[in-house]
Amino acid sequence: MDISSCEESTVSINDTDNDSIRIQAIQRELALPESSQRTLLSKLVVLIVSALIFFAVVRSTYTPAAVFLLLMVIAIHEAGHFLAMKLFGYRDVRMFFIPFLGGAVSGVQTVPSAAKQTLTAMAGPVPGLGIGCLCLMLFVITRHPLWTTAAKLFIVINMFNFLPIYPLDGGRIAEYTLFSRHYIIEIVFKTVTIIALGCIALFLKAPFIGLFCVLLIVSLPVTYNMAKAAWQLRKILPPDQAFSIDTIPARFIASIASLIDMTMPSVSTSIEKTAQRTREIWRKALTKPPSLPATLGLVIMYGLTFVFGLFLFMSSFFISSPLLSLPRYDGAWIYICNENTLNPIVGMPVSITTVSSDGISSIQPFYTRTDSNGVATIPSVNAIELSSISNIQIRADGGMGYDDYTQEIRGHMLLDRSPRPVLIIGMKKKKR
């Protein structure tokens, strides 16, 4: 008998036994409850604590009123996702806030459906855009600056999330309906749009979004391997057989483990990590893209909503109203002009009365002057720390053929796209 043949046979048997033992270990790991499952109390604690952290961190940059309004906009957006997940039978659904990035809702689909994932992604921006539209109408009726401020926040934040850029809601909609049909198309789409998001972050000078994009770029190789493994597994799944997301047949565990060994060797050394990746690949493979009619319907729905949101976005910036400032500043500019012609009025006496949060008043008299652009301005109020002011009163003493003017401001006024707070005062001519 050939000894070398016996050795090869022994090695083959040992390899088979080792593979079998490893598959059984992965099965035992998969049978354990997912560590992400939490009680209702723990979910409420996460939501409240994350909201408090969000408020504390963002409070250092924005005023309390602005932070509260921002939290409300984000909470309503995420609540849309939350309710859609509950409606579609997701389990372990929880919502939390992320300072400087916004918020998020996570959950596990019990019945895989890309169409339901698409509707869930749309459920965040759509209510926000609807509320933004309502706020615009209320502003037209009341002319109160609070409504235009709320409208712009609701519209801008939700339209930004509606952009077809991964991982924003619009990007996930595009992924679920169009780009998840082949792993190469999916990874190209994600790479291009993540770079685009990074460019937007650079333009907006948003370092936290930029850092988030860097992390997404670093994770792209894993994303590629996961998408490829799910696509290959989807090809061998019997189309006429229904599978559960929680029960993976042993033969498919072996197939997925083999794919992980080839593409993610660092993961394959750990049974726990291999089981986690196996579960993720299995669920992704079961989530097949929508049918052609469903895809057309979802894309049309997204397109019409996007056009409506774009119309609201453009309309909100045509409204001539001061915007409640979000950032704090160390100074302010005030422009004095003719209400009808918008021509500057130079040499008009003006006084600014500020009331701090502790009730201390301060009056500063000025005369309007002309800046480099030929606009009548009050010198920058650099001595005022705006973060401590709860009330500002502007009084123009008239004369020069104009009526007296007094306006009380609670909070801070900000003109769109200005580098610091600006208040435009249109003076009325006296009637002869």
pLDDT digits (tens, 9 = 90+) for 365-422: 666 665 555 555 555 444 344 444 445 566 666 666 667 666 665 444 433 334 444 5
* Alpha helix positions (H), 32-124: 40-59, 64-87, 114-122
Q: How confident is the model at residue 347 (pLDDT cuts 50, 70, 90)?
A: low
Q: How confident is the model at residue 185 (pLDDT cuts 50, 70, 90)?
A: very high
Mean pLDDT calculated for residue range 234-245: 84
Which structure tokens are listed for 246? 């929680």
Q: Which domains does the chain have, with CATH numbers?
A: 31-316 (no CATH), 324-427 (2.60.40.1120)
| Residue 322 confidence (pLDDT) above 50 | no
Q: What is the pLDDT, as a whole number, of residue 67?
A: 75
Nearest alpha-carbon partner for 102 in 24, 181, 42, 160:
160
* Alpha helix positions (H), 178-287: 183-204, 207-218, 220-236, 250-263, 265-268, 271-286
Q: How confident is the model at residue 80 (pLDDT cuts 50, 70, 90)?
A: very high
**Peptide bond preceding 249: is omega within 30 degrees of 0, i.e. cis?**
no
- Coil, strand or helix at 147: helix
Mean pLDDT calculated for residue range 323-339: 48
* pTM attached to this predicted model: 0.68
The string of pLDDT tens digits covering residues 29-55 is: 888 776 555 555 565 666 666 666 666
Q: How confident is the model at residue 26 (pLDDT cuts 50, 70, 90)?
A: confident
| Cβ proximity of 378 and 368 under 8 Å | yes
Q: What is the pLDDT, as a whole number, of residue 365?
A: 62
**CA atoms of 16 and 21, how far apart (whole Å):** 9
Q: What is the pLDDT, as a whole number, of residue 321?
A: 39
Single-letter residue type at 7: E
Of 46-55, 64-73, 216-225, 420-429, the one with minimum mean pLDDT is 420-429
Q: What is the mean pLDDT of the chain?
A: 75
Q: What is the pLDDT, as a whole number, of residue 392?
A: 59
Query: What letters, b where the CB count within 10 A reaches 16 and e where it falls short, cover 150-178?
Result: bbbbbbbbbbbbbbbbbbbbbbbbbbbbb
Mean pLDDT calculated for residue range 219-241: 89
Q: What is the pLDDT, as a whole number, of residue 299?
A: 95
Q: What is the pLDDT, as a whole number, of residue 319?
A: 60
Q: What is the pLDDT, as a whole number, of residue 43?
A: 58
Mean pLDDT calculated for residue range 16-30: 77
